[in-house]
Structure 1
Amino acid sequence: MGQAVTGSVVTAVGLSALLMSCGTTSPPTSAPPTSAPPPTAAVAVEPLSIGTAAEDTTGGLVADGQLISPFDVENPAVGFLEPALLAAIQNAATAASADGVDVKLTSGWRSTGFQKRLFDQAVTTYGSADLAAQFVASPEKSMHVVGKAVDVGPVVADQWMIANGSRFGLCQIYANEIWHFELAVDAAGICPPLRPNAAG
């Protein structure tokens, strides 16, 4: 009886070994696969239409109270500025830094949709398009939309720019906006007379 049990155990062990050997005929899991996995389908991404889509109501947004560096070209508000304006504001910022003034931007390039949103909000605030236009240009008239205007901050930087910006071709444009600058000097390097506001 002991031998029978032993024979049964041996037979069971032998059968188990046979099954295990059959199970290991495939390569170990750590071995490299014999063929590459099938490629996954690429997902097409529709690029954002810059400066034209009315749906883009945040393109170029700089949050209220935020100041950004004129060297931060990864930010669309800076990176989408006209190259001549970008170079001018960067040169001005470098010169201001030597005078101990940190020139930052509160706004730069804006998408058409974002400018429209700002204008519509101004219409609601001031009660009419005519009044709103004194403070916010329409998308059709805004120099921000074409990357030709920057808003500078803080106030000490505005003051430095008013006094020194013309050396870099940059001028304050509106009497009621000490922060708004454009490339506007004449051939003699002189800024034009201030307009009373964005509508004037």
Structure 2
Amino acid sequence: MSVFLVWSAAILAAVLGAYAGEVAEVASLRARAQTAADAAALAAVAESGPYGRAKPESQARRIAEANGARLQECWCEPGAPTAQVTVEVAGVTAEARALLDAGALAPAAMGFDREGLHPLLAGAVERIAAASGGKVWLVSGYRSAAKQARLWKEALAKYGTPEAADDWVARPGTSMHEKGLAADLGGDIAAAVRLVKELRLPLYRPLANEPWHFELTTWPRGA
């Protein structure tokens, strides 16, 4: 009887040991898959931002593979403020979603300068800056034709084609900045959006890939 009990205990220990090993392996695969998913989602949304090359899915796939995973799906449109991915590692899948922090990616503050801005736009920006308690500021307002041409040339060199550059910089002669009717804000962009509504300011954001870019809701006469 004692021999049988010892034998049964040995079998049970072996079974439990094998089960524990499988559980540990699955947990390890899940951790690897989640790490790869997190990294791929972050890479995709960063690639969608102003400092990327507008190829979020390619970047997500590259980063997933670098982490030992295979990209299954990527909901990541160029210029979109969010990205969601699904990756797979040895049959184990994981999902991750990343959000672009527009305030963190906006250029550094340059100080408020009304010169060249339409009075309605300048007044609206000043009210936002004051109401935010310094958390929102003007980054770029009026641009001369020469400055817009320089920015376009830099974008063309960075992105390679006129079509890709168009996603980030307007061509010379077509930018609302050149008319004094556009303002790029820095800092807490979410607060800026909220204040536009609360203060009923005549501003809106026409560019999905530049959430810090604000324009007047209607073109002033003569613009």
Calculate the TM-score normalised by the size of structure 1. 0.51
Contact 1:171/1:185 (<8 A) preserved: no
Q: Which runs of 4+ in 1 moved over 2 A?
A: none
Q: Is 1:159–2:195 an aligned residue pair?
A: no
Name the structure with the higher helix share: 2
Match of 1:173 in 2: 206
Name the structure with the higher strand share: 2
Partner Cα distance (2:147, 2:218) in 1: 28
Q: Is 1:145–2:187 an aligned residue pair?
A: no
| Aligned length in residues | 112
Calculate the TM-score normalised by the size of structure 2. 0.46
Q: Is 1:88–2:127 an aligned residue pair?
A: no
Task: Give the secondary structure class of the aligned counterpart of 1:131.
Answer: helix
**CA RMSD in angstroms, aligned pairs only:** 2.1
Q: Is 1:67–2:109 an aligned residue pair?
A: yes
Match of 1:182 in 2: 215
How many angstroms does 1:120 deviate by?
A: 1.0
Task: Give the secondary structure class of the aligned counterpart of 2:206.
Answer: strand
- Identical counterparts, % of pairs: 35
How many angstroms does 1:165 deviate by?
A: 1.5
How many angstroms does 1:69 deviate by?
A: 3.7
Partner Cα distance (1:109, 1:128) in 2: 26
How many angstroms does 1:185 deviate by?
A: 6.5
Amino acid at match of 2:211: I
Q: Which runs of 5+ in 1 are unaligned?
A: 1-63, 187-200
Match of 1:135 in 2: 168
